[in-house]
Structure 1
């Protein structure tokens, strides 16, 4: 099986457009749909469907960049993901780092930004490398592993646990509940597991409010924004936001990138032969995978974009993988090329909400791929991948691979 987010031939006829169908991303070809929209209707009105409200769908790079760079017009405070119409407003709206606008967004960001600075990440790199080496040595002993859960999910989770002051003894418990919360096909299990995660974080935040340490949760628990401490619910929602943001994107990008290397082994061998290609390879993996399938903004006022007038209070969705395959910006956009330059992808966002963990994510991917390239001569499929059925993030939920050291051949 190949990931549906892989290049296909152009679409001449109008495709069936249902961007809120999760199966489009698991078994269909969303890039064919997005390609048609970029060429024919780049500011597209999507009628209500599958319980979701109607929304505008943007698919062109420059339109999406203009929205992300203008929080005064396009607000995050009403939510950043599509929600069923009967679910109401996102409970994190206006309260978390991801779901706030300036100036509160900047105030919340300032509380934790030092943890994700270049200096902080530089100090973290030896620990990240140690975690990656341990995971890969264990994988080497087994030979065949399920790459998503055995490697890609654990690396960022172990790192964010250290940053948030979560004891090492609790990492496997959190790995179990987050795997079910974000990968289970059972919606009830996803909900109950996410509740368990939030209960855990709330208990830990309560402890750190009483006895702060040197970690992100402690900083959030004692911080003042506009002269006030975060409420208990604000603290919990922000801890949850940081934990999920610090784990999910790297998990999916790392595994989806390996899936692409499995399909193009010559690119993997080129990377092994020249470690200097590693930074560019990671940028191409980020562009190619673009794990957030969509982002949502709500207009504060009527606005015209791409010749279409969008009213005040309307939902505008940004289809991020489409932007990163825009023919007007990227040469041969449907070609995976680790030597691509320039590579102006927006997989980590842009503007006010540029991913606060972007430097850390790049470091984790570079270290993981660097250690993989140094340790294994061959990475080959060991079964069919299982793909996420989701309109929120795209990529594999399971990826069986066989890892072969040079000495074993």
Structure 2
């Protein structure tokens, strides 16, 4: 006689807590996700049959359309085919991977670097390997989800602290001192939703004082900040005090993948121990070729002007939104990043505002609970170095029109901070 499980494991997918609001959003056609794009990633794209200014991309340097980067992908495709069909450990390592790892280490100023197939795997594969039960990991509450996933995978004791609160970090370090194992602090250099920069000098000071190691996720800082574009650690002068630096290819480096840079002994340990590295297929050659070509553009004489233009465009969009009466989230550091968030507060209003902008020909991202705290819904806008003033003005004019119409029907939006 067969027995059936008391609960259907699929039951959770029916009638979950967000099902009703999701159904209403679908009915109103205000779901801001999974909208097909039918053109290359560029400052202006085609989505669902119409041109839209792209203010929702992480293509910060605009290199996805750079002929040198596309040629790098083509050359890799011709040389190695469409895929390597194996892990890096076995048949999935090419000279391109080795060149990319060497040049990343040179760029980051570290002894070595390791390339993962995705950025998510870079964090999960590093944290899940370096940490172990008995260790403690201290993470900023604003850290990327892949960091949390890696922390949970490791089964180390997790001590989160409130976003960018140094007093809370110090308290966590004090408590971790009694946990008995090693201690690792992990923070984003540039936080992906708010675009604010971590206070890395102070974080490094605290790590040094309590004997903790420090890892910085530079996914949104690499190719954005610093004279070399090496990230927040470079800009803030703490490269020599950061033990591990993670980055991705899916933002400024115009491809897909991730890396971790650090000491030779740690990187070698990851190469032979990280399950996310050992047991996944190697990056497709075109992705590696594109990332390597983009890195070479960034490190060439063309890199500094791109970085400067990106900062100028970020300031232009931020100032423009502020002047038009939007509440732009700012961290007080004065460091411009290409992520320019507009606080809306209410999830439903945020979705409606997104749709109004979309209909006016502007694509932005939305961040709703639980991606942000309750009451923290925001429109996440972002710029590229290749946006020009005419295109940004076109987007800002759309914001003005949408704001006036929206407030006439739904009431005032949060205004600029005084």
Query: Quick check: TM above 0.5?
Result: no
Q: TM-score, normalised by structure 2?
A: 0.26
Q: TM-score, normalised by structure 1?
A: 0.26
- Greater Cα radius of gyration, structure 1 or 2: 2
Richer in strand (by share): 2
Richer in helix (by share): 1
